Amino acid sequence: MALQIITHVKRSSAWKRRLDPAPTEAWARRTMDGVTLVALVTFVSLVVVLVARAASDPDAGHALLIIDAGLIGSGYVLLGQFRKFRNTERASRAHAEYRLRSDPVTELPNAEGFAEAIAFHGREAATSQTEIAILCIKLDRLNEIHARLGEACGDELLRDLSGRLVTSFGSSGVVARVGEDMLAVLHPATPEFKAALVGGEINRLMDLPLITPIGDMAVASTIGVNFPARPITSPQNALRQARLAAAAALTSGAAVAFFEPSLDHTQRLHLDLEVELRQALQSGGLEMVYQPQIDETGVIIGAEALMRWPHPTRGPVSPTLFVPLAETAGLAETLGRYAIERSFADSVLWPGLKIAINVSPIQLKSPNFADMVSSLLVQYGVRASHFEFEITEGVLLRAEPVVLDNLEQLRRMGFQIALDDFGTGYSSLGYLSRLPVDKIKIDRCFVTPLGERKDATMIIRAISDLSIALGVKLLAEGVETRAQLDILRAEGCNQAQGHLIGHPMTPDQITALLELSPEARDAQDRSAA
């Protein structure tokens, strides 16, 4: 039954395509052509003659018959022209409706046309016992290819990819383009089709190399699948659920993900949090805490600025949740500016302390970032030499000219640059030599096993040797035990940060800690250990 339904949808789509090339816009605008005008003039002329003749000679029957015949012929021509115009107008409207429901690049149904195909199945689902699958296929590198090779080449590759789906599933399903980098398939959920999904056959079909002007390229894909419950009351919602599954697949790194009700809950939560995050940024509802950093002698030399969101009703919201949320909601630059402003404002309490501020790749890709920081320095009356900006290793892959220019401008102002989470991403001597880095921060994953695994100490030693060769400072994160700290100092790591030294603290707590004597701080450290 589902096969018959979807075949009917395909026939309907084909009928719309047959309408596509039929009329021209000129025909749609024209109310009458030359033949219609001649027929109308003839008709009016004959009427005038008939009236005049009948008035002057009522007995001219032969002439009247001729005139009647002419009137009948003219009327017939006029009627034919009227029908022709009416059919043209209808065809033009159908053509316009088709264009509204189709994608101009692939000639496939767009999201609206695809929703109509889903709706058609929904109307028939009351009597159908056959399940259908709605697939959203995210083409992960299509935007990159568009940017690198140009729109025309990117569109051609998109047509090739959509053609693969049409060839494989077009005879028994509906293929559509429902987003800039997303294709969709409506197909009977047969055991064979489910096996193709689980077995990754559809992913492999989309991942096959494509011919480009610079050589063969592959467009990786992730698939979200929704098996909508019958009856389908909202086609748009059924498609939205497939999109959610595709987003879940992309986030988790899986090739295929299936829609679950929990995804709906997660999306609603994210939407609510996005609204509340915007409000918190406007009202000053976010707070900064600072985790102290020490040198090899145990003196507090700096603190890392960390953002916290004490939500009034939800409780503390983790940065691992609201920071990615800010990036997807387009709030990354606003959030980053907020952190810089608060850190600048708080730093006046500790003139001898260097404050480390995290900066996202999105901020560094902004051409106005350095100028914004410069204006904030003036606004808050602080010195750049009292701060360092921490960048992640992801910046190494995004070392675009604007990023490098921003980093160079920051260093010229007097800021230092620290490379955070070193060793967990894409570090290499080639990248490090290109970036203006003053400090390397060893990730906690290398610090935690110290004292338990011999190779952990060897890794720290190698990183320490690298820092000496590059002439940069070295700081270890996540130091939680005295044994770890001792090993780090023995291997030449001259700075440390972690719970052993101090938990993230409010500005008042940092001030109180700085006021303690060295002996009191040592006692506090021993107590914490």
Coil vs helix vs strand at 371 = helix
**What is 111-259's CATH number?**
3.30.70.270
pLDDT category, 212, cuts 50, 70, 90? confident
Coil vs helix vs strand at 368 = coil
Distance separating the N- and C-terminal Cα atoms of the chain: 70
pLDDT category, 4, cuts 50, 70, 90? very low
Task: Assess whether pLDDT exceeds 50 at residue 16.
Answer: no
pLDDT of residue 425: 56
Task: Assess whether pLDDT exceeds 50 at residue 7.
Answer: no
Residue with tokens 């295929």: 256
Task: Assess whether pLDDT exceeds 50 at residue 3.
Answer: no
Arithmetic mean of pLDDT over the chain: 80
477 among known catalytic residues: yes
As a whole number of angstroms, the distance between CA 63 and CA 241 comes to 76
Does this model's pTM top 0.75? My answer is no
For the segment 310-337, the average pLDDT, to the nearest whole number, is: 91
pLDDT of residue 394: 66
pLDDT category, 316, cuts 50, 70, 90? very high
pLDDT category, 39, cuts 50, 70, 90? low
pLDDT of residue 171: 79
Closest CA to 206 of 157, 254, 251, 245: 157
Residue 497 Cα distances to 157, 239, 357, angstroms: 49, 48, 14
pLDDT of residue 1: 31
pLDDT category, 125, cuts 50, 70, 90? low
pLDDT of residue 193: 87
Task: Assess whether pLDDT exceeds 60 at residue 489.
Answer: yes
Lowest mean pLDDT among 8-22, 238-252, 443-457: 8-22
Catalytic residue among 124, 333, 390, 477: 477
Coil vs helix vs strand at 254 = coil
For the chain, give every domain's residue range.
Answer: 31-100, 111-259, 285-528
pLDDT of residue 20: 43
Query: Token digits for 125?
Result: 């689902």
Lowest mean pLDDT among 5-14, 359-368, 377-386: 5-14
pLDDT of residue 41: 67
Lowest mean pLDDT among 64-68, 171-175, 334-338, 339-343: 64-68
CATH architecture of 285-528: Alpha-Beta Barrel (3.20)
Coil vs helix vs strand at 160 = helix
